[in-house]
Structure 1
């Protein structure tokens, strides 16, 4: 449920100056619910690099602070699927949860994909991440495939779920 108190959320493109805030946010929001890599430890890698450029990210700002991000990129460099965009990461600060930030980022990602000429958008989510799956489904994403037992975490196998939706109409 979205709470209305507090500052408004503004979504904008990421800028190089957001790197430190995004790196901290990324570390602070790490969770086995969604992460396929181990928890980050020092020395930390830069948030932006040749494969993770500021122009690939949208950020959510509340009260002057970066409180969330979504990464939207082509899934491959192939011309044959240049009409598709993929969400490859979405994070919201604990203090901003319950204010519609993730939904706003998701909708902005779809708008950005449409503006880039995409007609489809996809994402991958771990099967045990019920809150994320519910959010995606509420925004029109459907399960399009499942890779059973794709990941092994602490002795437990977890499915990788591919979800997608059209951006037409």
Structure 2
């Protein structure tokens, strides 16, 4: 694995994160249309830099990120963190960066007091599902035909795991 470093995102990462999102966009994982100019900001009142961990190469180039957020504004589920964004640059795949970001997210969620992590993944995204399962996530629900993408209905798969060590 080529050396990479994981750190908290900073406001200055906005342009690089936006470019990474656009470069990695695919119907394999995205339910949004392909991004077109003018591009929406990455960070705003609901999407803050402190919710994002980034992976950067030794030269400082961002090669991946993961966004952890509260699933709702309800106090009764503040013990849960949800992955609400995750990408690794195509040129950096196969180096363990996705797995390292997931593990760093587990540590960060625990540091924040979370005891559980959840996510949603498209049924046809087998590479992501395999990674999540290998890191302890289990399917906890399926919303059959929940999304209509590229001319077909796609299941939305709900996965979760405990953060107990």
Displacement over 3 Å in runs of 4+: none
Once the two structures are superposed, residues 50-69 of structure 1 have per-residue CA deviations (whole angstroms, 9 ceiling, x without a partner) of 11110010000013211100
Q: Report deviation, 1:107.
A: 0.6
Q: Report deviation, 1:9.
A: 1.1
TM-score between both structures, scaled by the size of structure 1: 0.95
Once the two structures are superposed, residues 53-99 of structure 1 have per-residue CA deviations (whole angstroms, 9 ceiling, x without a partner) of 10010000013211100000110010110100000010000111000
How do 1:80-99 residues align onto structure 2 when only pairs under 5 Å count? 80-99=76-95
1:149 alignment partner in structure 2: 145
Q: CA RMSD in A?
A: 0.7
Q: Report deviation, 1:47.
A: 1.0
CA distance in 1, matches of 2:149, 2:89: 24
Unaligned runs of 5+ in 1: none
2:34 alignment partner in structure 1: 39
CA distance in 1, matches of 2:120, 2:65: 16
Is the deviation greater in 136-145 or in 61-70? 61-70
Once the two structures are superposed, residues 113-159 of structure 1 have per-residue CA deviations (whole angstroms, 9 ceiling, x without a partner) of 10000000000000000000000000000000000000001221000
1:120 aligns with 2:116: yes
Unaligned runs of 5+ in 2: none
